[in-house]
Amino acid sequence: MIQLTPHMRILLACEPIDFRKGLDSLVAVCRDRFQCDPFSGTLFLFRNKSGTAVKMIIYDGHGYWLFWRRFSEGKLHWWPPAGGENLTPLAAQQLTVLLYQGNPEQAQLAEPWRRLPLAPG
């Protein structure tokens, strides 16, 4: 099982991909098109053209995980525009919002790292 943690590196592909691509093809996209190391432990997130599904891949040190989420109703309401940047970094909290078809830019999220107050000494 993969746990989303605040220190996890998540990269979102801005352009939609052909969802006929399987794991090996998505790894090749990360390596060749994005010039990223797919063995780095980075979670890569892709969407289909219609915005009704997402695929995620991550390497955990023993093998790859491929996640595919198809929304039973509706589609994604937010995705960064495909422009000059191929990849957009995303925080783990933002990914959780996105997977529930929300807009991570409008979500009021707490800072991922907060200092603990010092105990009176």
Distance (Å, whole) CA 91 – CA 109? 10
User: Which residue in this structure is represented by tokens 């098109």?
Assistant: 33
**Which pLDDT band, with edges at 50, 70 and 90, does 85 fall under?**
confident
Looking at the DSSP assignment, which residues form a beta bridge with residue 70?
53
**Which pLDDT band, with edges at 50, 70 and 90, does 36 fall under?**
very high
More confidently predicted of 79 and 104 = 79
**Which pLDDT band, with edges at 50, 70 and 90, does 67 fall under?**
very high
pLDDT for residue 4: 83
Question: Is 70 exceeded by the pLDDT of residue 112?
Answer: no
Structural contact between residues 46 and 13, judged by C-beta atoms closer than 8 angstroms: yes
Distance (Å, whole) CA 46 – CA 59? 15
**For residue 4, how many other CB atoms are within 10 A of its CB?**
13
CA angle 97, 103, 104 (to 5 degrees): 60
Average pLDDT, the chain: 88
Distance (Å, whole) CA 111 – CA 106? 14
| Averaged pLDDT for residues 23-35 | 96
pLDDT for residue 3: 80
What does pTM read for this prediction?
0.86
Distance (Å, whole) CA 104 – CA 87? 16
Question: Is 90 exceeded by the pLDDT of residue 113?
Answer: no
